[in-house]
Amino acid sequence: MTVAAPAPEYRLETGERRLAIGAVLIVLLLSALDQTIVSTAMPRIIAELHGLERIAWVGTSYLLASTVVVPIYGKLGDLYGRRPILVFGVVVFLIGSMLCGLAGEFGTLPVVGDGMNQLIVCRALQGIGAGALTTGAFATIADIVPPAERGKYTGLFGAMFGFASVAGPVIGGALTEHATTALFGHVISGWRFVFYVNLPLGAVALWILLNRLPNTGGQVGGERRVDWIGSALILLTFVPLLLALTWGGHAYAWESPVIVAMLGGAVAGLAVLLLYSRNKDHAVVPIGLFANPVFARGNLALFIINVAFMGIVMFLPLYLQVARGVTATASGFALLPLMGGVLVGSVVSGRTASKTRQYKPVLVVGGILSLLGVGLMLQVGPETSRNALMLRLAVLGLGLGPAMGMFTLAIQSAVEPRRVGVATASAQFFRQIGSTIGVALFGAILTNTLTAELPRRAPDLVRADAAAGKTGVDMSHAQALAMDPAALRTTLAASGVTDPDRVARTGDGIRASFSAAILGLFPISAILFLGAFIVTLAVPGRRLRGREDEGEMVAIEAGAPAE
Torsion of CA 322, 325, 326, 327, to 10 degrees: 70
The closest of 273, 268, 263 to 229, measured between CA atoms, is 273
Angstrom distance (rounded) from CA 244 to CA 260 = 8
Per domain, the residue ranges of the chain are 14-227+280-456+511-543, 228-279
Neighbours of 378 (CB within 10 A): 13
Q: What is the pLDDT of residue 190?
A: 86
Q: What is the pLDDT of residue 44?
A: 85
Alpha helices in 40-183 (DSSP H): 42-49, 55-80, 82-101, 115-144, 147-178
Angstrom distance (rounded) from CA 59 to CA 115 = 15
Q: What is the pLDDT of residue 220?
A: 56
Q: What is the pLDDT of residue 126?
A: 92
The closest of 103, 133, 132 to 120, measured between CA atoms, is 103
Angstrom distance (rounded) from CA 507 to CA 385 = 21
Question: Domain 14-227+280-456+511-543 carries which CATH code?
Answer: 1.20.1250.20
In a 13 Å sphere around the CA of 86, the CA atoms on its Cβ side amount to 37
The closest of 403, 232, 303, 287 to 63, measured between CA atoms, is 303
Asked whether the beta carbons of 286 and 74 are under 8 A apart, the reply is no
DSSP class of residue 545 equals: P
Helix (H) or strand (E) holding 182: strand 181-183
Neighbours of 563 (CB within 10 A): 7
DSSP class of residue 224 equals: -
The closest of 156, 434, 423 to 302, measured between CA atoms, is 434
List of long-range contacts for 554-563, beta carbons under 8 Å, 24+ apart = 554/4, 554/5, 554/6, 554/7, 554/8, 554/416, 554/417, 556/416, 557/4, 557/5, 557/416, 557/417, 557/418, 558/2, 558/3, 558/4, 558/5, 559/2, 559/4
List of long-range contacts for 553-561, beta carbons under 8 Å, 24+ apart = 553/416, 553/417, 554/4, 554/5, 554/6, 554/7, 554/8, 554/416, 554/417, 556/416, 557/4, 557/5, 557/416, 557/417, 557/418, 558/2, 558/3, 558/4, 558/5, 559/2, 559/4
Q: What is the pLDDT of residue 328?
A: 67
The closest of 17, 18, 6, 20 to 420, measured between CA atoms, is 6
Q: What is the pLDDT of residue 100?
A: 92
Angstrom distance (rounded) from CA 410 to CA 406 = 6
Asked whether the beta carbons of 407 and 351 are under 8 A apart, the reply is no
pTM of the model: 0.76
Angstrom distance (rounded) from CA 273 to CA 238 = 11
Angstrom distance (rounded) from CA 81 to CA 178 = 42
Within 8 A by CB and 6+ apart from 96, the residues are 122, 123, 124, 125, 126, 127, 128, 129
Amino acid occupying residue 547: R
pLDDT tens digits for the chain (563 residues)? Answer: 344 444 445 555 666 677 777 777 888 888 878 777 887 788 888 888 887 777 777 877 887 787 778 878 887 877 777 788 888 999 999 999 999 999 888 888 888 888 888 999 999 999 899 888 878 887 777 777 776 677 777 767 766 766 776 677 778 888 888 888 888 878 888 889 889 988 988 888 888 888 877 766 655 555 667 778 887 888 888 778 877 876 776 667 778 999 999 999 999 999 998 888 887 767 777 788 888 999 999 999 999 998 998 888 778 888 888 888 877 667 767 778 887 888 888 888 888 888 888 889 999 999 999 999 999 999 988 788 888 988 999 999 999 888 877 888 888 888 877 777 778 888 888 887 887 788 778 888 888 888 888 888 988 888 887 877 776 666 777 877 888 888 888 888 888 888 889 888 988 898 889 899 999 999 999 999 999 999 999 999 887 765 555 544 444 344 444 33
Q: Is 325 left (phi over 0), alpha (psi -120 to 50) or beta?
A: left
User: What φ, ψ does residue 256 adopt, rounded to 5°?
Assistant: -70, 155
Amino acid occupying residue 238: F
Using DSSP, state whether 546 is helix, strand or coil. coil
Asked whether the beta carbons of 395 and 373 are under 8 A apart, the reply is yes
The closest of 519, 517, 515 to 377, measured between CA atoms, is 519
CA 550 to each of CA 5, 335, 351: distance values in angstroms, whole numbers, following the listed order: 12, 41, 21
DSSP class of residue 458 equals: -
